[in-house]
Amino acid sequence: MKEFLFNRLDTYFNEMVEIRRFLHQHPELSFKETNTARFIKDYYEKLGLKVQSDVGGNGVIARIIGGKPGRTVALRADFDALPIQDEKDVPYRSRIPGVMHACGHDGHTALLLVLAKALYGMKENLHGTYIMIHQHAEEYAPGGAISMIEAGCLEGVDAIFGTHLWATEPTGTIQYRIGPIMAAADRFEVTIQGKGGHGAQPHRTKDAIVAASQLVMNLQQIVSRRVNPVEPAVVTVGSFVADNAFNVIADKAKLIGTVRTFGDGTRQLIADEIEKIIQGSCLTSGCTYEYSFIKGYPAVVNHPEETTFLIECASQVPEVKKVEESELQMGGEDFAHYLKHVKGTFFFTGAKTPGTAEVYPHHHPKFDFDENAMLIAAKTLGTAALNFHSPKTEEPAVRNTLA
Q: How far apart are CA 19 and CA 22, in angstroms?
A: 5
Distance CA 19, CA 104 (A): 13
CB-count burial class (<10 Å; 0-12, 13-18, 19+) for 44: buried
**Is the alpha carbon torsion for 39, 43, 48, 51 positive or negative?**
negative
Q: What are phi and psi of 238, to 5 degrees?
A: -105, -15
CB 171 within 8 Å of CB 370 = yes
Task: Tell me if 105 is assigned to a ligand binding site.
Answer: yes
The neighbouring-strand residues paired with 242 are 253
| DSSP character at residue 29 | B
Label the pairing between strands 252-261 and 184-193: antiparallel
Which DSSP helix (H) or strand (E) runs through 296? strand 288-297
Is 80 considered catalytic here? yes
**What is the rounded distance in angstroms from the CA atom of residue 10 to the CA atom of residue 23?**
20
Q: Is 108 annotated as a binding residue?
A: no
Query: Known catalytic residue: 138?
Result: yes
- The residue annotated as part of the active site, out of 33, 78, 106, 138, is 138
Across the beta sheet with 344-350, the strand order is 50-55, 59-65, 127-135, 68-78, 159-166, 344-350, 173-176, 322-325
Any idea of the CA torsion for 240, 243, 249, 250, to the nearest 10 degrees?
-70
Question: Is 287 annotated as ligand-binding?
Answer: no
How many Å separate Cα 15 from the centre of its chain?
24
Cα distance between residue 95 and residue 51, in whole Å: 28
164 is in an annotated binding site: yes
153 labeled part of a ligand binding site:
no
Diameter over CA atoms, the chain: 81
> Are 109 and 50 within 8 A, CB to CB?
no
Residue tagged active-site, from 28, 78, 80, 306: 80
CA 34 to CA 38: how far, in whole Å? 6
Query: Which amino acids are annotated as binding site for Mn(2+), given as ranges?
Result: 103, 105, 139, 164, 363
Query: Which amino acids are annotated as binding site, given as ranges?
Result: 103, 105, 139, 164, 363
Active site positions, annotated = 80, 138
